[in-house]
Amino acid sequence: MSSQTYRAAVLVPPRSNSLADSLAAVGATYYWELRKLVAQKRSWIGIAAAAIVGLVFLISIEISKVTPNDGPYADPMGHGLRHSGLALTPVVLKEIAYFGPAIIAALVGGDIVANEDGGGTLKTILVRSVRRGEILAAKALALFTYVIVALLVFAITGIVAGTIAWGFHPLANISGTRISAVHAFGLTFAAIAVYVVPTIAIASFGLFLSVVTRQSVAGVVGTIFYALALEGLAALPAIKGARPYILVTQLHAWHGPFETPTNWALIGHAIWVSALYAVPPLLAAWAVFRRRDVAS
């Protein structure tokens, strides 16, 4: 998309200070941010990676001698492998718990502002009547939308591939309760919804790095290292008591929907802890962006 097209796209009527006016500006800018994401190869690389990761695990399970709930797949849902295709997505979700969301969040989060800084297109947006806070809000919404879509693609391809290979059959949940295939299907998307929350918190830090560093590489790599550093921190025996309050620990809260009864305490804990990690970098990004000298 050319800078002239983008300038015209985000041009809004004479501004007022009303909430409705601001929401309309955010909505219009959000639409064009999504258009830009669709046009970028980086976005499609992330979607493609999310789509094939389940297939890679399925093939590795099929050609290996690993038995269900054994070896690298000694997972609470691992006993359903080769018996129900609906077991594939939960098992893979556990295997990629730390590194997977970091990559998804980093690919776009670390680049979404820095790319425009490098290309000089922020100047063409800010000379118009869209306010800086509205631009950043639209970019954050586009980033979060991308995270959600990528995880939905991951879930859907895993379910389809698993069902083709092993059938659409009932399976036992984490608590050992046998649930119907339809119920397991619904719970898979509930688990993805829970998994999205801490992933968005990681993406929020990526957005912050994108604003502060003004460099796509620094934003992308920094986001990945941020997630890996939190993983290393969570593994330290000396701070075992703090582990429930480390962001990456919340990536395991997807277990909640697959327990009997549903572990709402685990889900609620993951939501508020993730919010504590997401809000400060978003506010910091806004504070920096609103004072940004885009002419330099």
Q: Using an 8 Å Cβ cutoff, are 125 and 7 in contact? A: yes
Quick check: 20 pLDDT over 60? yes
Q: Is 69 helix (H, G, I), strand (E, B) or coil?
A: coil
pTM of the model: 0.87
**pLDDT at position 290 over 90:** no
pLDDT for res 130: 75
pLDDT in tens, 23-46: 888 888 899 889 888 988 888 988
Least confident residue range of 1-5, 185-189, 224-228 = 1-5
Task: Assess whether pLDDT exceeds 80 at residue 2.
Answer: no
What is the structure's pLDDT at 201?
94
State the Cα–Cα distance between residues 219 and 42, nearest whole angstrom: 14
Closest CA to 188 of 92, 274, 69: 92
What long-range pairs does 228-236 form, CB within 8 A, spacing at least 24? Answer: 228/98, 228/99, 228/102, 231/98
Which one-letter amino acid corresponds to residue 87? Answer: A
At residue 21 the predicted structure's pLDDT band, cuts being 50, 70 and 90, is confident
Rounded to the nearest 10°, the torsion over CA 67, 71, 74, 77 is: -40
Q: What is the pLDDT of residue 145?
A: 94
Q: Are the CB atoms for 30 and 138 separated by under 8 Å?
A: yes
Asked if residue 7 has pLDDT above 50, the reply is: no
Q: Which two tokens stand for residue 222?
A: 């920094």
Q: Would the pLDDT of 270 be above 90?
A: yes
Cα angle value 52/53/56 (rounded, 5°): 85
Per residue in 57-116, pLDDT (tens digit) is: 898 888 876 665 565 566 778 888 888 999 999 988 887 877 777 788 887 877 777 766
| Pure H helices in the chain | 3-9, 19-39, 41-63, 88-95, 99-109, 114-119, 121-126, 132-166, 181-213, 216-234, 264-289
pLDDT at site 238: 86
Which residues, other chains included, contact 176 with Cβ-Cβ below 8 Å and sequence gap of 6+? none
Mean pLDDT for 42-61 is 89
Q: Compute the mean pLDDT over every residue in the chain, rounded to the nearest whole number.
A: 84
- Say whether pLDDT at 4 is over 50: no
* DSSP category for residue 240: G
| pLDDT value, residue 121 | 59
- For 126-131, what is the mean pLDDT? 64
Measure CA 239 to chain center. Answer: 26
Please name the amino acid found at residue 179: I
**pLDDT-based confidence at residue 11 (cuts at 50, 70, 90):** very low
